[in-house]
Amino acid sequence: MARFCVCLASGTGPADGRPGPADLHLAAMGAPPVAPGLALVRDEPGHAQGPFDAHGMRAVGEVTLHNRAELRAALTADGAPAPQDAADGELLLRCWARLGAQGIALAEGMFALAVLDGDDLVLIRDHVGARTLFYARAADAWAAATSLRALRRWPALDTRMNLSAVRSFLTFAYLPGDETLLEGVREVLPGRVLRLAADGTVTETVHWEPRERLDGPPGGSDDHVLTLRALLEEATARRLPDAEAVGVLLSGGIDSSLVTALAAKLHSHPVHTYSISFGDELPNELGYSGLVAAHCHTRHRVLTVSGTAVAARLADTAALLDSPVGDPLTVPNLMLAEAVAGDGLRTVLNGEGGDPVFGGPKNLPMLVQEMHAGTPGAAGSPWYEDRATAYLRSYRKCWTDLPQLLTADALSALEPAPPPQRFVEPYLTGPDRMTHLLNQLLHCNLRTKGAHHILTKVERLTASQGLQGRAPLFDRRVVDHAFATPPALKLRGTAEKWVLKEAVRDLLPATVVDRPKSGMRVPVQQWLSGPLRELGGDLLLGRAARRRGLFRPDTVRTWMRGEGTLLPRQGGKLWLVLTLELWLRAYDL
């Protein structure tokens, strides 16, 4: 399996048979054409399929569908035949050709599809963003790929570093929107269809976006709980592999625990669970993950990850990602994927999605800020800060440190660039925002961190090992139900994710369901002062970093000594800078 890259030029070969613009671009990308203006480049691990032909269109894609029967029924509703043995990519292409955006909205799964439709290139990304899709225009041609590394092989593409994206990464610890670290390259947003015309015009269609639906038929909390339970079972069942064992990444928190319990209940084949340990001397959730594994009768493994292993694997792991992710669990996540693949499994479930969909503790700083600020009109209050700015501050990354971290030249170059608040303002202050603050925050979390950090990280790291990583809690129907659930049932007093916990209370020990979220303590500061100390210094203060001119060496030295005003979070912020430096080097920027 491989990732794909396609190129669409504005012209065709001349009558004398010499290569035309399309042929030249395809040859330069190192792949034979599979259609005029369409190439499939097999250069990275992935799930590429195609080409597919239907209704006069041709497509390539990375497509995994979980509701094939439903889609076939929609295609045959008017009596027209639909092939029973069509690959997932062909089935999705037929949905687009016959039903348009409505047909894509019906699909449930992980997909990125590039369609050659006449002179246009149509790019389609799944509802929540489980698969990525990037595009760029140069030399009067369009190119698109599911990975930046494949796309940047296009000689016409200028691969200069995008300084605005650097600021966004340091603010969020990931890139929250359509910008990438390659100038001129954009990412297709989840739930969108882009039509790229030969004249350079881009037309966007939304095939799905979460909506706040609180005006439905009246029902008590039991109705919401029972409906959610049914949806969770359906979402998990759809993601279980046929006739083979499945893995689950089990941290011991409620989200991964409920996915484990549902998999054990619904799957007729063995369920393997995998947990991480950073050593017995650190606080961890191994007691809870072990309790869940025993309760659900899974085949359980605990993988011990040392700082030395993280230091040795960090550069290679950063290079696997299309955008850097400032999550210190990235290397441990890759090592877990290797363990799952080593056991011969091909599908691994995870509990990602519970916090951004049902309301985890990351929303509490914003809720407290709102209580103190009063209404947005109370700008004179000393507690007041507009929601978008408060949201950036709540991340507690490097946003407030940028004046001391970035060089004067970098700060000056950023002055005309739009501020990073633009990525969250549509959800928090825009005219189409949801009514309730909690739903605004969840919508923002889903569309930024969910699509551009959580899902993409999982997909890239699992795919590198030949696995499919699947997230039942990001199921489209589960998300729709979450936004049709009254906010008071998601955050009930001080009980976070109340409706989610109640939906699975009978499946898990009360100790697991009722305990507050604690999270896994990752020893970042210990790594940076130990196995990563010398490497970090060489990278961040070395010749390549100085030549790039992004960071002030005196600030980096202060952070590496553990000094300054950053305590106790200087480790996490230094980790962001180190992760970014490694990624930039991997992409020769």
Q: Which residues contact 548 (CB under 8 A, 6 or more apart)?
A: 161, 584, 589
List residues forming the annotated binding site: 88, 249, 276
Is 84 in contact with 120 (CB distance < 8 Å)?
Answer: no
Kind of pairing, strands 491-492 and 347-349? unpaired
How far is it, in rounded angstroms, from Cα 290 to Cα 309?
A: 24
Give the list of residues 6+ apart from residue 509 with CB closer than 8 angstroms, or none: 291, 292, 295
Binding-site residue set for ATP: 249, 276
Whole-angstrom Cα distance, residue 577 to residue 558?
A: 13
* Phi and psi torsions of 154, nearest 5°: -70, 115
The residue type at 37: G
287: left (phi over 0), alpha (psi -120 to 50) or beta: alpha
CA angle 301, 306, 309 (to 5 degrees): 105
One DSSP character per residue, 511-530 reads HHHHSPP------HHHHHHT
**Coil vs helix vs strand at 558:** helix
In a 13 Å sphere around the CA of 553, the CA atoms on its Cβ side amount to: 12
| Radius of gyration in angstroms for the set of CA atoms belonging to the chain, rounded to a whole number | 24
Q: Which residues are annotated as a binding site for L-glutamine?
A: 88
- State which amino acid sits at residue 381: S
